[in-house]
Structure 1
Amino acid sequence: METLIIVMIIFGLLVSIHEFGHLIVAKRSGILCREYAIGFGPKIFAIKKGETVYTVRLLPIGGYVRMAGEDPESFEIKPGQSIGFYLNDYGRVYRIVSDHLEKYPDAHFMTVEQCDFEDQLFLSGYEDEDGPLLRYAIERDATYVVDNQDFQIAPRDRQFASQSLPARFLTIFAGPFMNLVLAVLIFVIYFSIQGVPSNAPLLGKVIHGYPAEKSGLMQGDRIVAIDGKTTGSWRDIVSYVSKHPKEQIQLTVIRDENQRQINLVTGQRKGENGKLEGVIGVYQPTRHSFIESVSAGFSQTYYWIKMELTGLKMLVTGGFDLNKLAGPVGIYNATGEVVAQGLFFVLNWTAFLSVNLAVINLLPLPALDGGRLLFLIIEALRGKPVEPQKEALVHFIGFAFLMLLMLLVTWNDLQNLFSR
């Protein structure tokens, strides 16, 4: 249960920050944002602030910002249709009702002749069968009622498609960008608390039960030589020890300005290449500096971006083991293992997942932010946008493919889980 709660918190954070990036830039660009949603499926919570409804939905597998003009408007009035409407003190329409008119006895009623909710913003028709043709201006922030809920109309200049190309590009790019910002912030917090790794030839925290502790080594000891060979950095210590598994070595140590010799037998572990390597059981030394923590936050984020891109390249070229590809189940299990190691490992894991979400979303694939950015780049090169119907079809096919891939990866996760 603890793992499930932490997984929901982590993914809720990553998705909410991602969608907040889209939301804030869209609003700054003048785009009407109807809904900011975390999750998919039925609503379990909703609150409206300003123009936007903020919702939490049942299935915590993503989120979205519903911007006016991205999808066809759900509200349409045809000539000859009977509607109800409300006028403000200036004689302008501020609310329109198109069904269940009997529930609104205080409204004005009209048989519509013409209407325009996007450009000219007017409504004309007959309130009486034999009466004159009446025309009313519609307020830019007028609402229409669907299923007893008010939705704001979207004049043309408030719709996504009517914005400039740079504004649309930045609106889409802002989601992945905010995930990178989040990763940097988490890494900065992590390094501010834990300290920034140092390459000085010092010992960090000594691990209980390992050779370093058993031999009397302490955190802060300076190692100036191993077996008579000078060590000038942490890398020198790691390099020498790793080459001597299960061997006795002599460390020349300076502690409290006093030099001493300490002999110990190294431990061993299997390295990434499968070969045994020596260990003594100490962490890398760290130093505390806010400026260095900020620098390390950027450096660590950049490192994981490079690792993600390297992994994707190997996936395309065939150098990646597909059995290592993880989906929701695999990420859940990995999160459980990270949770067991403590808060700081959870921080690192969250930052890594945030980078992962950003990089994956920027891939030029349909249904992802990168796919939408690709269409905007094509528009810039062509001088005109791709037909909305064709773009929508490509994104639909891409989404179906991603769902299929998700099922396959989940199946792979389950096979790996039960084969343990």
Structure 2
Amino acid sequence: MIQSPGILVTILAFALVLGPLVFLHELGHYLAGRWFGVKADEFSIGFGREIAGFTDKRGTRWKFGWLPLGGYVRFAGDMNPASQPSPEWLSLPPRERAQTFQAKPLWQRAIIVAAGPIMNFLVAIAILGAFAVAYGKVVTPPVIGSIAPKSAAESAGLKPGDRILSLNGRQVEDFVDIGVFAMIRSGEAVNIEYQRGGQTAQASATIGSLTEKDRFGNITHRGVLGIGRVASEIRPVALWEAPGEGIRQTVGIVKTTIEGLQRIILGRIPVSELGGPLKIAKVSGEFLAMGPVQLVYLIALISINLGFINLLPVPVLDGGHLLFYAVEAVRRRPVEPQVMEWAYRGGLVAILALMLFVTFNDLGTFGVWRNLAGLIG
């Protein structure tokens, strides 16, 4: 039976996921700016017309915009998208100019820009580390417990008791590594190095595909080798070990994200797998329906992806700013304003096109195009 969390739960979950993450991302920029003495004129959650807000004693306007799909911090003197000095900036009194973003050294500007994505990663590390302390670390040796009939593992001649050592040369330390590797490689050939009876051997196979439907009616496709695990062990994680465990999991998720992105670019994963705000809202509602713990875990995952996406070297994103700062550091002079202006225009067009594309995908996920085709037919 397909369950639905309902539109109100979905909206609430979306707000609980995206709102705090956008706030914390922008808070990273804001705190770094304050540390270096940069005045913030505005701190906005959402875009567009202000629906509520207040001004603090430092003159910063804290507000909510009517379109809750992001946010921004506007520092003093930040008068154009490329954050370049302008005649208006040069006309400021020296004291006010010293508190502007452009007046700061290159390394300080880079830290302020990078602080947003860094905050996202820190949030994820804190959540994942806290989960490890609360629930322990699940450790499952990469030993085959069972073999599914007519699976890739069976065709490779693997047997229960075999220990997987590596997949395509990548070392396997835990059974989870096997699932993560196979998940995004459906239909791809894999070289398996394993150990049996103290002897090392190799086998080749083509990773199979599994289609599943969850209780919410979502259909997912993933690659599988067709092996079952042996018994798992839950190891306690001390409080002092939490940061390291959080970092380890975060790095692993980032690596998987990069691999998935590479495969989408290479055409090995269909672009229909890309999702946007509507899909995030849908998934948020489903995770909230499963319980608050699952929702907090989703917040950690989205926080990692938000930090990663913002570090991509695309103008308009934080990574685009950092790219220009790197060029400036090498050239020992800023990139020409005209070049930056056109780059940011191009970046904005690319981001808007991507948003339009993923929204098209999201509507397809909800069955809008299928239903429309049925009405037309």
Q: Give the TM-score normalised by structure 2.
A: 0.69
Deviation (angstroms), 1:366: 1.1
How far off its partner does 1:198 sit? 3.2
SS at match of 2:16: helix
Q: Which amino acid aligns with 1:309?
A: I
Stretches of structure 2 lacking an aligned partner (at least 5 in a row): 1-7, 151-208, 212-221, 372-377
Name the CA distance, whole Å, in 2 between partners of 1:393 and 1:158.
27
2:98 pairs with 1:157: yes
**CA–CA separation in structure 2 for the residues paired with 1:198 and 1:369:** 36
Question: SS of 1:62's equivalent?
Answer: strand
Give 1:353's aligned amino acid: I
Identity of aligned residues (%): 31
Asked if 2 retains the 8 angstrom alpha-carbon contact of 1:270 and 1:277, the reply is no
* 2: CA distance, partners of 1:335 / 1:65: 26
- Specify the code of the residue in structure 1 equivalent to 2:26: E
Name the structure 1 match of 2:20.
13
Is the contact between residue 145 and residue 229 of structure 2 (CA under 8 Å) also seen in structure 1? no
Q: CA deviation at 1:24?
A: 0.8
More strand by share: 1
Q: Where does residue 129 of structure 2 map in the other structure?
A: 188
Q: What is the match of residue 306 of structure 1?
A: 255
1:332 alignment partner in structure 2: 281
* Partner residue of 2:35 out of 17, 22, 28: 28
1:198-246, Cα deviation, whole Å (9 max, x unpaired): 34xxxxxxxxxxxxxxxxxxxxxxxxxxxxxxxxxx543xx2135589x
User: Matched residues in 2 for 1:244 and 1:185: separation?
Assistant: 41
SS of the equivalent of 2:102 reads helix
- 1:39 matched to 2:46: yes
Aligned to 2:310: 361
Deviations 1:266-325 (A, max 9, x none): xxx958435655589x87634353234333211111111111111222233232221111
Q: Secondary structure at the match of 1:240?
A: strand
Counterpart in the other structure of 1:350: 299
CA offsets, 1:103-157, max 9 Å, x none? xxxxxxxxxxxxx95246xxxxxxxxxxxxxxxxxxx5xxxxxxxxxxxxxx222
Distance (whole Å) between structure 1 residues aligned to residue 280 and residue 359 of structure 2: 10
Contact 2:328 / 2:334 at 8 angstroms: preserved in 1?
Answer: yes
Within a 5 Å distance, the mapping from 1:2-401 to structure 2 comes to 2-49=9-56, 50-71=58-79, 118-119=92-93, 140=95, 155-199=96-140, 234-236=141-143, 239-243=144-148, 272-273=222-223, 285-401=234-350
In structure 2, relative to structure 1, the CA distance for the partners of 1:118 and 1:290 (3 Å cut) is same
Aligned residue pairs, count = 288
Cα distance in 1 for partners of 2:224, 2:262 equals: 23
The one-letter amino acid paired with 1:31 is: V
User: How far is the alpha carbon of 1:402 from its aligned partner?
Assistant: 0.7
Match of 1:100 in 2: none
List per-residue Cα deviations over 1:5-35 (Å, max 9, x = no partner).
Answer: 1111110111111101111111111212101
What's the CA shift for 1:390?
3.1
> Higher relative contact order at CA 8 Å, sep ≥6: structure 1 or structure 2?
2
Q: Which runs of 4+ in 1 moved over 4 A?
A: 242-245, 269-272, 274-280
Q: Distance in 1 between matches of 2:263 and 2:129?
A: 30
Q: How well do the aligned residues superpose, as a CA RMSD in angstroms?
A: 2.9
Cα offsets for 1:375-403 (capped at 9, x unmatched) = 11111111111233431332122112211
Paired letter, 2:92: E
Structure number with greater Rg is 1
